[in-house]
Structures are given as C-alpha cells and as structure tokens.
C-alpha cells in the first residue's frame, strides 16, 4: 500500500453524514447552539472583560507544505470531483479538527459561551470573477464526522445553487434592509443586535447571516495575492476567520544537504480567544495541519467524535 494513503482505521459505529436538503435545514438545525454551563470561572468572566469580539482577537500566520495535498486533490478530481480544490481540503481539515477539539466550534452570545453540535461554514463568492460581479455569502452545513466527499458535495450544492439562481435569501434580505432610511436602519440594526444578545434573533436570519456560523473562510489565492488577516465581526458570532493565499514553490535544504523543491501555501487564522485558551487552540491547529500531511484520512469518518462540555 502507498504510504501516502495510510488512513485511520475503520470507524466504530460512526454517525453517518447525511446530505442536507435546504428544505430540511430549519428542522435539523432548529437551535443554533447550546449554552455551556460547566466552564471554569475564568472562561465565564472573560466575555465580560473583553466585551467586543475584536477586543479578544488573536492572529496567527503559518505555512503548509502541500505536496501530498496536491496529490490528494488530483486524485479527487480524477474520481469525479472535478472542482475539488484546496478550499475543500481546508474546510474538511477544520471539520475533522472540530471532531476532536469541539471547543473551537464554540461562540459567544450575550456574553455567555455556547457550543454547536453541528458546523456552519461561510464563504464569500462571486457569480463571475470580474469587478462588476457582486459578492454574496453562502453557507454549508456539516456534522463533525463529515468526509472530504461530504464537504465537496455540500459546498458544490450551495455554490451551484447561487450561481444558477443568483440572489437568494441573503441577497434579498440585504436588499430589503437597504431600502430603510439611514437613521431607521441604524435603529433597526441596533434592534437586531439586541435580539441577538438575548438569543431571540429568528433562526432563519442566523441561518442566512454571514455574521453567524462556526467558520468564515476566504481564498486570497483565487485573487492571486497572499493571505490577509481578516477581522472578526462585532455583530453575530463567527469566532474564526481563515484566509489562505496563492500557492508558491520554493527550494528547501534537507538534513542530508540536498535541495528539494516543494509546494507551499500561507494561511492565517483570526480567533476569538474567549471560546477556548491558547493551549487548546494550539493543539487543534497542530491537528488540522497534520491532516495536510495525510489527507487520505479524510476519505473515512473519524474513529470517534468528541462532544463538548455540557
């Protein structure tokens, strides 16, 4: 067997991932999350000290060697996932990270820490890659045992759905709000923030909102520029923003004194430090990076999905 393709051993009674029909989303994800009541005192006090999300922002930039990732991507494309890309691999690696480190899927609402048992991934897309084409946000829904194929299928569905029928709930809602006069609009947004603080914002709004979710991911590589540090939003509850840049190749000197050329990609994480501590974040990030050294493990669900605190 090719050593690159060593995967995790078969799962023990895995939770089977199911494709999510848009009409079933409201039923399946009726609750955005649940409050964690067994946190340490420090974790409970932090949201009252660092009130705004940007008060609690930490940032990190790192580089991934993606030689094996490129091989994996080409294999997926040959298997029929013609548009499979490093974007899908980043999302799948994050989801696999959540399966083992569920605290990175927490969020702050009303200065209290909540967690999700599912995963919501936001991305910004254009119908066409030109200056005039407007941006919109689409959202994919996953369970923590999702495989790379599940990620590709769900993200392809939501992206194709928008590009074939541009507009949609988010664009229609934003257009409607934009008709409100300026001062009324300011008060209207304040009202939405107040509802959100107390967890009373209607679920259909948080489901279409780009400001609510587990992760926001953006590709700078598609624009031909390096990864940026994208700020977190004060409105909503997205605790993580992942950006990755364009691929590049460079020579590396090995321990044996040989010069080898490898492929790399830079990425940045902007994080809300109130959801978990630095030690936990570091462990989760190291685990996600390890996925790129052996992406074939994403072909099967994880052996075990860890559950967050009660």
Q: How much is the pTM?
A: 0.89
DSSP state of 67: H
Name residue, tokens 């919501």. Answer: 120
Predicted pLDDT of residue 62:
96
Predicted pLDDT of residue 127:
67
116 closest CA partner among 295, 279, 275: 275
Predicted pLDDT of residue 276:
95
All structural domains of the chain with their residue ranges: 34-294
User: What is the full DSSP assignment across 146-206?
Assistant: --HHHHHHHHHHHHHHHHHS--HHHHHHHHHHHTS-HHHHHHHHHHHHHHHHTT-S-HHHH
Predicted pLDDT of residue 146:
95
CATH homologous superfamily, domain 34-294: Chloramphenicol acetyltransferase-like domain (3.30.559.10)
List, in sequence order, every residue forming a beta bridge with 259; answer none if it has no partner.
Answer: 253
Residues of the chain predicted below pLDDT 50: 1-17
Predicted pLDDT of residue 27:
65
Give the up-direction half-sphere exposure of residue 206: CA atoms within 13 A in the CB hemisphere.
Answer: 24
Predicted pLDDT of residue 213:
96
């Amino acid at each position: 067997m090719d050593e690159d393709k060593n995967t995790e051993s078969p799962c023990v009674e895995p939770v089977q991932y199911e494709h999510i029909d848009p009409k079933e989303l409201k039923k399946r994800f009726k609750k955005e999350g649940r409050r964690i009541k067994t946190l340490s005192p420090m974790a409970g006090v932090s949201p009252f000290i660092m009130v705004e999300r940007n008060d609690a922002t930490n940032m990190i930039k790192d580089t991934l060697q993606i030689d094996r990732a490129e091989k994996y991507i080409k294999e997926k494309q040959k298997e029929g996932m013609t548009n499979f890309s490093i974007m899908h691999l980043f999302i799948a690696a994050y989801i696999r990270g959540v399966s083992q480190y569920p605290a990175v899927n927490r969020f702050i609402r009303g200065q209290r820490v909540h967690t999700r048992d599912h995963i919501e991934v936001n991305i910004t897309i254009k119908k066409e890659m030109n200056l005039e084409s407007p941006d919109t946000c689409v959202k994919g829904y996953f369970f923590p045992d999702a495989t790379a194929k599940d990620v590709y299928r769900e993200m392809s569905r939501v992206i194709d759905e928008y590009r074939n029928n541009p507009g949609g709930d988010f664009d229609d809602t934003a257009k409607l709000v934009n008709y409100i006069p300026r001062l009324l609009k300011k008060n209207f947004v304040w009202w939405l923030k107040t509802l959100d603080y107390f967890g009373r914002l209607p679920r259909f709004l948080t489901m279409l909102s780009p400001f609510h979710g587990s992760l926001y991911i953006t590709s700078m590589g598609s624009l031909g520029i390096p990864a940026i540090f994208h700020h977190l939003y004060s409105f909503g509850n997205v605790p993580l923003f992942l950006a990755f840049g364009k691929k590049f190749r460079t020579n590396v000197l090995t321990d044996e004194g040989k010069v080898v050329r490898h492929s790399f990609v830079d990425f940045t994480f902007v994080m809300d430090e109130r959801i978990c501590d630095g030690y936990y974040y570091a462990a989760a990030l190291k685990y996600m990076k390890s996925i790129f050294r052996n992406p074939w493990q994403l072909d099967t669900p994880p052996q075990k999905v860890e559950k967050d605190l009660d």
